[in-house]
Amino acid sequence: MDTLIAISIIALAGSIHASFQLSVSMATALSGHALGRQLAAKRTLRLLFGFVAGALAMTLLCVSFASYAIGILAPHNSYLWIILTAGLMIVGLAVILFYYRKTDGTELWISRGFAHFLRKRTAKASLTAEAFSLGLTSVVSELVFTIVPIITAACAIIALPPAWQIASAILYTLIASLGLLIVTALIGSGHKLSHIQRWREQNKYFLQFSAGLGLIILAFYIYTNTISDMITRMGIL
């Protein structure tokens, strides 16, 4: 695979990952509960930064583990790209149809019981270590949707020269966490949570459609730049 194509796949997969909203929802809830308990601004920011650090660490761990596993188990398996293309399209359609519940607000697809558990954990968080663990949990909880872009990025990462692989995993992590980083910066700079939440409510279906459509576009991009060439080389067409 061409280096430029591999990097573009990593960047596109990361930007799609950034469109998912569970980590952002938990970060805004964490800040809201901290402010509701009248914690000092510095302590609230420490909790928020702990949460972001947890989300970044788990995202990097997921994409690194996926890259390592694929590199060991299926380093040159061309059929994996075909499976990923189908998976991207299926998950893209699922995101468009099911990601947000058909209710007011920004209630996501997760079960009500698990959502209650996350809200309870978020409301009680008072230590940076607790916020860090919530950041880890937020990434793991959304793997049902993000696992496909993560594996897609991992396949592109192992196609790069070894010297580029660590940097590309970090690049994916930063791009995938861009939405969370932007919201954290807005909260840290003094923007009201109510304004941020109102914007999310007003644009939730745009974000949902963008994430789903992005997955489908990525599938076509991979087909055009990877699978079609592979089929031609195999003499199928």
Q: Could you give the CA distance from residue 104 to residue 207 in angstroms, rounded to a whole number?
A: 15
Q: Could you give the CA distance from residue 55 to residue 101 in angstroms, rounded to a whole number?
A: 24
Task: Check whether 105 has a pLDDT greater than 60.
Answer: no
What is the Cα 218 distance to its own chain's centre?
Answer: 15
Confidence (pLDDT) at 31: 77
- Percent of the chain at pLDDT > 90 equals 20
State the average pLDDT over residues 55-65.
94
What's the angle, vertex CA 175, arms to CA 201 and CA 73, rounded to 5?
Answer: 120
Higher pLDDT, 60 or 44: 60
Q: List the domain boundaries for the chain.
A: 3-232
Which pLDDT band, with edges at 50, 70 and 90, does 75 fall under? low
φ/ψ of residue 236, rounded to 5: -75, -35
Question: Using one digit for the tens of pLDDT, what is the confidence trace for 15-32?
Answer: 989 888 788 888 887 777
Confidence (pLDDT) at 176: 92
